[in-house]
Amino acid sequence: MIEAATGLSDNIKDHANPAMHTAEHILNQTMVRMFGCPRSMNTHIERKKSKCDYLLSEDPGAAKMAEVEQIVNDVIDRHLPVTVHFMTKEEAAAIVDMNKLPENVGDTLRIIRVGDYDACACVGAHVENTSTIGHFKLLNCDYTPGRLRVRFKLVE
């Protein structure tokens, strides 16, 4: 495993807002841990507000989603480093979900680690430390059979 010293290369897509994108990583891992679901199946990241869709067999309800919000903020408040690592697909398969990767992905993957909390193959821009994210705020959630849509923003 090689840790990148410089951050992003010129061909890496900027996902509108590094803080919001990093918060999405933390939200994804929280959902995986709490509900055993895959990472978001559909994500839209913007500066003002963002949304993620999760495959869930039942509505988690307001109390569980308030717990999700609290856990995400607890992780942010740990001031975790966000680091970039490059590794082979074989090495990455031991620590990240490979299901969403395109078939034509190269032999080397860019893995983003949020401290000891999350690791994910990703090409987006991220903060260097969760201390710069701000506060995670769930705006609303709506459930239709099989899908939970989560809308959120970051506040100071």
User: Residue 14: is its pLDDT beyond 80?
Assistant: no
- What pLDDT is attached to residue 156? 86
Domain count, the chain: 1
Question: Is residue 120 packed enough to be buried (19+ CB in 10 Å), middle (13-18) or exposed (0-12)?
Answer: buried
Give just the sign of the alpha carbon dihedral 35, 38, 42, 43.
positive
Give the model's confidence band at 101: pLDDT under 50 very low, under 70 low, under 90 confident, else very high: confident
User: Residue 10: is its pLDDT beyond 60?
Assistant: no
Tens-digit pLDDT profile for residues 24-46: 999 999 999 999 999 999 999 99
User: Residue 16: is its pLDDT beyond 80?
Assistant: no
Over range 88-114, report the average pLDDT: 91
pTM of the model: 0.89
Q: What is the CATH number of the domain that holds 133?
A: 3.30.980.10
What does the alpha-carbon distance between residue 65 and residue 34 come to, in Å, rounded to a whole number?
10
Containing structural domain, residue 45? 2-155
- Pick the closest to residue 131 from 67, 61, 78 (CA basis): 78
Return the percentage of the chain with pLDDT > 90, whole number: 79
Token pair for 3: 């840790």
Tens-digit pLDDT profile for residues 43-96: 999 989 999 999 999 999 999 999 999 999 999 999 999 999 999 999 999 999
What does the alpha-carbon distance between residue 78 and residue 59 come to, in Å, rounded to a whole number?
29
Asked if residue 26 lies in contact with residue 75, where contact means CB atoms within 8 angstroms, the answer is yes
